[in-house]
Amino acid sequence: MPKNADSSRSPRPAKARRPAARTQAPTAAPAAPAGDAVARWLAGCRHTLRAELDMLRQIVAAAEPSLVEGIKWNAPSYAFAGDDRLTFNLSAKDRVRLIFHCGVKKRATKGRVPVDDRGLLEWAADDRGIATFRTAAEVAAARKSLPQLVRDWLAATTE
């Protein structure tokens, strides 16, 4: 018998085991809507051409209602049919660039995607054009032609 054991005490009865409660597997919290991420990003945006950025975002969103806005590369970006197609570049403080691209994967093209007869795009590659805006007047001047350019780009780059 072990030291200090009290032989007068009866052993404790075993606890009755309850069946484990059935629990559902933990589920991940639903992803925040893309608009929430955009709103949070915009709340912290201190770009010198923020008003021009907001005007351009309105023009792009109105051009194609099925575009989904999110944040990519630390700027607003737009996906169409699940693929990124338009992304703002705000790295310079004196301009806002809207990049027209074919998504993250390099896509083989047979020459330049032929959609810009308006002269808004500077071609960085056959499958990537850049529209640059430095002033509100430049954004206003593009207000009529930019929506059709967006639609043409989406049509030309969607398989």
The DSSP code for 9 is S
Q: Which two tokens stand for residue 37?
A: 């991420």
pLDDT 10s digits, 77-88:
999 999 999 999
CB 71 within 8 A of CB 41: yes
Give the distance between the most distant pair of CA atoms in the chain. Answer: 101
Report the pLDDT value the prediction gives residue 4, as an integer from 0 to 100. 52
Name the CATH topology of 48-157: Aspartate Aminotransferase, domain 1 (3.90.1150)
- Please state whether the predicted TM-score (pTM) of the whole model is above 0.95: no
DSSP string, 76-141: EEEEETTEEEEEEE--STT-EEEEE---SS----SSS-----SS-PEEEETTEEEEEE-SHHHHHH
pLDDT 10s digits, 124-149:
888 889 999 999 999 999 999 999 99
Domain borders along the chain are 48-157
Non-local (6+) Cβ contacts of 99 within 8 A are 86, 87, 88, 89, 124, 128, 129, 130
